[in-house]
């Protein structure tokens, strides 16, 4: 098969998603790995310890692999199907074996060491030096120093972990997709807003009830968040809320999709892998690649935040119980009574705001913000790139002189039948200078917000607005990088616990007056969001911030404990260990059957193992970064643009070419402080 016959073998540019089918996967990966093994052997015999003789050809080899596997992985997230899944699982072991073989190459490792110790070293730019140092570290953490039985065992572990991670993710998708609750009586949907009724009727029609209407039903509830979230928040029937809630917290926890045995096996293998490399725990191995210096340093930050948030969360929960006039609030009651309390305290009905946040207007406001503070112009470029679904959009980013500098995809809507939940940004094409020409970056921005219903556009909740801003922040770091070395451009080579800085930074702009009023217009009348509603949003920003922070700390501390303290085969199961943290990190104990670990994809099928704390670690950085704009006055356009230019040149521009603390200090002029985060969340005493 020639490369032109198989779209997954093109190896450069944007993948032709409209031409790729699951049938292409196995032959493409099989042929590619054969070619790359030959290329690796040739490089190992001809390598010289120079940038041109080592890093450039190795990067080219890695990018060919990343291009094909990246396209397949992307489609697994946004266009999952039984056929694609089978093809992916058929080739994944071969890919893992090749990756292990490449990362453990002694000739390449020795060449990197010679480059680090040789006369050429001082002539390399700081970004080049950091790429070389990262390559040495990554090779060592990938087992390059192992031989014999330990090496064989290490590689077998990596192979099994990859397979377990894929199974874990598929189980969550399948279990989420399997549940549906069909409601036929008006009293069963009492309290639910019109937008939800329209979505639930549309879901019913998609599942075969051709006559379903928002007014008369039937209505179908799913565990997809645009359905599940509002149902818990607004549904007046507690028994139905309980049914849906229990289904949600027990996803992938029993039967054919039971992730419990996978969790135990994953944790055991990760610990064994870490011990083979000489670490005491997988958390220590994980932190070897991160900004945080030690497990103790992470625990110290989390405890500092816990001590502030726990008493605040207790007060908030007691107030909620008093408001609901019960001392026996159940977990499925929390969102419902919280929304009622929020409405009473702030006269703010979050559902009533949806008509003011139609996706087209929100997008316009977001892109105007980027233009205003970062001096870029962003315009639709639909039709200029292949797409994987008709709802997908494509955009072009230009610099102040009008020259193209980046592109991005936006896949905004929930598609529970084929798309995994959550939201993410990923790298489609990375920036690099190749043969004197700059390759422009392309990003994927993926959300799971409320889709258009009938003749309405996607009407977003305020949470969905902040999610879009968050993912766009990741995209900005990928797209506005000025680094020309592929290995350190954009988000590449940025320590995991610093990579959330730009994303969480962008969320703050959702509360900025100029930004909000530029995008909040009623989708039918064009009327701006009333000033009173904006003031309510500001007032409600810190509502239940103690409970919100404590929830994130619970996830972070459970993750850390599982990867630092859990002993496989002991008397304590992963669920037991999670329960041991419940008294100090929750104010309403989970139900006995709560199996949230079974759907905790961030740490079992994503990149956050022993790294979920990164959200809080980076939130300190992001809040402090936004404070630099607040200090000059958000209404002072010239000053904001000056700070924005500095943020673009440092945080967004330097990518992974400089250590993140150095990047932060070059922007802020000092090390980060927690004061801004505690102030933004209303927890500063």
Which residues are catalytically annotated?
Answer: 471
DSSP per residue, 596-646: GGGG-HHHHTSS-TTTTTHHHHHHHHHHHHHHHHHHH-TT-HHHHHHHHHH
Structure tokens at 11: 């190896």
Cα–Cα distance between 139 and 408 in angstroms, integer? 32
Q: How far is 409 from 1, CA to CA, in rounded Å?
A: 30
Q: Which of 338, 367, 357 is nearest to 450 (CA)?
A: 357
Q: What are phi and psi of 106, to 5 degrees?
A: -65, -45
Angle in degrees, CA 375, 447, 178, rounded to 5: 175
Describe the chain by its helix, strand, coil percentages, rounded to 5.
60, 10, 30
- What is the rounded distance in angstroms from the CA atom of residue 631 to the CA atom of residue 355? 33
Instruction: Give the integer Cα–Cα distance in Å for 139 and 133.
Output: 10
β-sheet with 424-429: strand ranges across: 377-380, 393-398, 404-413, 442-449, 424-429
State how far the Cα of 553 lies from the Cα of 306, in Å rounded to an integer: 7
Residues with Cβ < 8 Å from 526, sequence gap 6 or more?
Answer: none
* The pair of three-digit structure tokens given for residue 565, joined into one six-digit string: 């303290």
Cis preceding linkage at 218, omega within 30: yes
- Cβ-count burial 131-170 (b if 16+ within 10 Å, e if not): bbebbbeebbbbbbebeeeebeebbebbbebbebbbbbbb
CA distance linking residue 547 with residue 517, whole number of Å: 29
Plot region of 636 (φ>0 → left; ψ -120 to 50 → alpha; else → beta) = beta
Q: Distance of alpha carbon 531 from its chain centroid, rounded?
A: 33
Pair of tokens at residue 374: 């970062």
Cα distance between residue 674 and residue 163, in whole Å: 39
Rg of the chain in Å (alpha carbons): 25
Helix or strand (DSSP H, E) at 413 = strand 404-413
- Tell me the helices (H) and strands (E) count for the chain, helix number first: 25, 9
DSSP state of 183: E
> What is the DSSP-derived secondary structure letter of residue 381?
-
Is there a contact between 19 and 7 (Cβ–Cβ < 8 Å)? yes
CB 681 within 8 A of CB 507: no
β 404-413/219-222 pair status: unpaired
Q: Which of 150, 87, 140, 143 is nearest to 112 (CA)?
A: 140
CA 405 to chain centre: 24
Whether the CB-CB separation of 546 and 319 falls below 8 Å is answered with no
**DSSP H or E run through 221:** strand 219-222
Tokens of 110: 């020795």
Nearest CA to 602 among 502, 505, 496?
Answer: 496
Q: Which residues lie below 8 Å from residue 371, measured CB to CB, with a gap of 6+?
A: 377, 378
């Amino acid at each position: 098969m020639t490369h032109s016959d198989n779209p997954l073998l093109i190896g450069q540019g944007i993948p032709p998603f409209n031409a790729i089918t699951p049938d292409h996967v196995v032959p493409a990966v099989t042929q590619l790995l054969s070619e790359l093994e030959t290329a690796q052997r040739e490089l190992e015999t001809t390598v010289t310890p120079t940038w041109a003789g080592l890093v450039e050809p190795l990067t080219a080899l890695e990018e060919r692999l990343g291009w094909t596997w990246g396209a397949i992985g992307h489609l697994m997230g946004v266009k999952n199907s039984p056929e694609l899944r089978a093809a992916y699982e058929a080739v994944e072991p071969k890919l893992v074996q090749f990756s292990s073989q490449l990362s453990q190459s002694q000739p390449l490792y020795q060449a990197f060491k010679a480059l680090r110790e040789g006369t050429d070293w001082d002539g390399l730019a700081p970004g080049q030096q950091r790429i070389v140092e990262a390559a040495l570290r990554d090779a060592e953490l990938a087992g390059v120093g192992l031989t014999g039985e330990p090496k064989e065992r290490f590689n077998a572990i990596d192979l099994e972990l990859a397979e377990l991670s894929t199974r874990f993710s598929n189980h969550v998708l399948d279990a989420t997709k399997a549940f549906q609750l069909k409601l036929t009586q008006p009293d069963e949907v009492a309290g639910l807003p019109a937008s939800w009724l329209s979505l639930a009727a549309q879901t019913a029609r998609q599942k075969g009830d051709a006559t379903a209407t928002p007014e008369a039903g039937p209505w179908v509830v799913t565990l997809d968040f645009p359905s599940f979230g509002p149902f818990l928040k607004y549904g007046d029937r507690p028994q139905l809320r309980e049914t849906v809630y229990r289904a949600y917290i027990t996803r992938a926890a029993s039967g054919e999709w039971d992730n419990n045995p996978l969790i135990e096996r994953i944790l055991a293998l990760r610990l064994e892998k870490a011990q083979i490399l000489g670490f005491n725990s997988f958390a220590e191995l994980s932190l070897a690649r991160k900004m945080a210096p030690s497990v103790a340093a992470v625990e110290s930050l989390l405890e500092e935040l816990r001590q502030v948030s726990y008493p605040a969360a207790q007060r908030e929960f007691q107030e909620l119980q008093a408001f609901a006039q019960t001392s026996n609030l159940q977990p499925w009651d929390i969102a419902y009574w919280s929304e009622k309390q929020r409405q009473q305290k702030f006269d703010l009905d979050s559902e009533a705001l949806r008509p003011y946040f139609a996706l087209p207007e929100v997008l316009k406001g977001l892109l105007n913000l980027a233009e205003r503070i970062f001096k870029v112009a962003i315009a639709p470029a639909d039709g200029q790139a292949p797409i994987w679904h008709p709802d997908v959009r494509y955009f072009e980013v230009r610099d102040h002189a009008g020259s193209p500098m980046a592109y991005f995809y936006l896949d905004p809507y929930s598609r529970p039948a084929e798309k995994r939940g959550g939201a993410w940004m990923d790298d489609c094409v990375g920036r690099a200078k190749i043969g004197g020409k700059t390759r422009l970056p392309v990003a994927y921005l993926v959300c799971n917000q409320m889709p258009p219903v009938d003749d309405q556009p996607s009407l977003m909740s305020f949470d969905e607005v902040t999610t879009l801003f968050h993912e766009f922040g990741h995209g900005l770091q990928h797209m506005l990088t000025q680094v020309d070395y592929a290995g350190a451009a954009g988000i590449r080579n940025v320590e995991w616990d610093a990579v959330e800085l730009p994303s969480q930074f962008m969320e703050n702009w959702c509360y900025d007056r100029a930004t909000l009023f530029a995008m909040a217009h009623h989708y039918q009348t064009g009327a701006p969001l009333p000033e009173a509603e904006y003031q309510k949003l500001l007032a409600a920003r810190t509502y239940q911030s103690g409970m919100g922070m404590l929830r994130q700390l619970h996830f972070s501390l459970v993750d850390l404990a599982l990867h630092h303290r859990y002993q496989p085969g002991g008397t304590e199961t992963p669920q037991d260990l999670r329960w041991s943290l419940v008294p100090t990190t929750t104010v309403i104990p989970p139900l006995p059957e709560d199996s949230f670990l079974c759907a905790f994809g961030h740490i079992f099928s994503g990149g956050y193992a022993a790294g979920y704390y990164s959200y809080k670690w980076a939130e300190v950085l992001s809040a402090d970064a936004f404070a630099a704009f607040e200090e000059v006055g958000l209404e002072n356009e010239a000053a904001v643009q000056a700070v924005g230019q500095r943020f673009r040149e440092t945080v967004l521009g330097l990518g992974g070419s400089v250590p993140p603390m150095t990047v932060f200090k070059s922007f802020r002029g000092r090390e980060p402080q927690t004061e801004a985060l505690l102030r933004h969340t209303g927890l500063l005493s």
